[in-house]
């Protein structure tokens, strides 16, 4: 009996490893992907201070351990966006066979430059909340210049193409059910999602969490954001109002043409609830298809409502899944 158990364990492990290798081989065949490997989290000490701002080593190591037991295997990739080599990740359910296809979620990170860089905790959070309990392939980008990638972060400028390029990769990945592609983002990532939708990309629907929709308002409410904008946005000193409006979905709500789930907490101190109010008023004016999910007394991270958030996101995804 013991010998049989050992044999079965070896067989399961072998099949599991074969599935992982198959996933990696398929990722490497996608046009635009120039390298890929199984993701091995870096040593905490190797990160720049901005990347681990507010994160302790103990918490990071806990996230690394939890990642080992995730239902996903994560692969770090380098892909081409414009002419730049950009870092990103693809998450594939561990036992997915080469004959199966799943919907895809392309989800955009928050922050700027190294602050908000995708780390194990972000991968865990976003796959838990936005993949319908692990029934989706998962794609995310660091944006250009981050984690050793090339180019420059323009905070909603040229690097929007990094999302468009990753979306193309998601659609060309053999394991993707191309009838079901979804887009989403949190905070600055929601701004990136709005900007990607403005390009009229083809997706089923989009999820926008705590996103800034008026960057002029952002500067008034948080003056430190003006410093971020000054450092990143080209030509801002000569044309401030115009370049901020270019990045503000509230200014071009008429161009947002897919179903959207807009999520915001009323006590958000990073991106105030006013941003959700502004964009939804304009979306109503143009008769756009959207839902607003409001969490009273919740801050930017929506920490206390995540089980409900996960359920409501799954409900929304199922509604627009073909």
| Per-residue pLDDT of the chain in tens (322 residues, 90 and over written 9) | 555 544 444 434 444 445 678 999 999 999 999 999 999 999 999 999 999 999 999 999 999 999 999 999 999 999 999 999 999 999 999 989 989 999 999 999 999 999 999 999 999 999 999 999 899 999 999 999 999 999 999 999 999 999 999 999 999 999 999 999 999 999 999 999 999 999 999 999 999 999 999 999 999 999 999 999 999 999 999 999 999 999 999 999 999 999 999 999 999 999 999 999 999 999 999 999 999 999 999 999 999 999 999 999 999 999 999 9
Q: Return d(Cα 320, Cα 181) in angstroms, integer.
A: 10
Asked if residues 218 and 248 have their Cβ atoms less than 8 Å apart, the reply is no
Neighbour count for residue 2 (Cβ, 10 Å): 6
Task: Please give the model's pTM, rounded to 2 decimal places.
Answer: 0.93
Written as one string, the DSSP assignment of 54-122 is: T--HHHHHHHHHHHHTSSEEEEEEEEEETTEEEEEEEEEETT--TT--EEEEEEE--SBTTBT---HHH
Domains and CATH numbers, the chain: 2-320 (3.40.50.1820)
């Amino acid at each position: 009996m013991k010998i049989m158990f050992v044999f079965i364990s070896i067989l399961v492990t072998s099949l599991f490893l074969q599935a992982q290798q198959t996933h990696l081989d398929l990722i490497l065949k996608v046009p635009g992907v120039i390298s890929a490997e199984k993701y091995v989290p870096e040593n905490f000490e190797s990160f720049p201070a901005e990347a681990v701002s507010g994160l302790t080593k103990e918490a990071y190591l806990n996230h690394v351990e939890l990642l080992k037991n995730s239902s996903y295997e994560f692969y770090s990739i380098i892909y081409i966006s414009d002419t730049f080599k950009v870092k990103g990740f693809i998450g594939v359910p561990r036992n997915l066979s080469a004959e199966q296809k799943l919907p895809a979620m392309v989800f955009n990170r928050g922050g700027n430059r190294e602050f908000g860089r995708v780390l194990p905790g972000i991968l865990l959070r976003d796959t838990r909340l936005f993949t319908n309990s692990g029934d989706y392939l998962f794609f995310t980008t660091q944006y250009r210049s981050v984690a050793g990638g090339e180019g420059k972060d323009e905070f909603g400028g040229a690097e929007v193409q990094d999302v468009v390029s990753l979306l193309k990769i998601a659609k060309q990945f053999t394991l993707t059910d191309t009838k079901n592609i979804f887009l989403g983002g949190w905070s600055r990532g929601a701004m990136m999602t709005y900007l990607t939708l403005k390009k009229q990309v083809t997706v089923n629907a989009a999820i926008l969490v705590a996103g800034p929709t008026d960057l002029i308002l952002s500067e008034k409410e948080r003056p430190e954001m003006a410093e971020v904008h000054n450092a990143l946005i080209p030509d801002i000193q000569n044309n401030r109002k115009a370049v901020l409006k270019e990045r503000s979905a509230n200014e071009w709500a008429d161009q947002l043409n897919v179903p959207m789930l807009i999520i915001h907490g009323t006590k958000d101190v990073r991106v105030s609830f006013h941003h959700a109010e502004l964009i939804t008023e304009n979306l109503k004016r143009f008769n756009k298809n959207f839902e607003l999910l409001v969490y009273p007394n919740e801050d930017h991270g929506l920490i206390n409502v995540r089980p409900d958030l996960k359920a409501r996101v799954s409900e929304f995804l199922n509604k627009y899944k073909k």
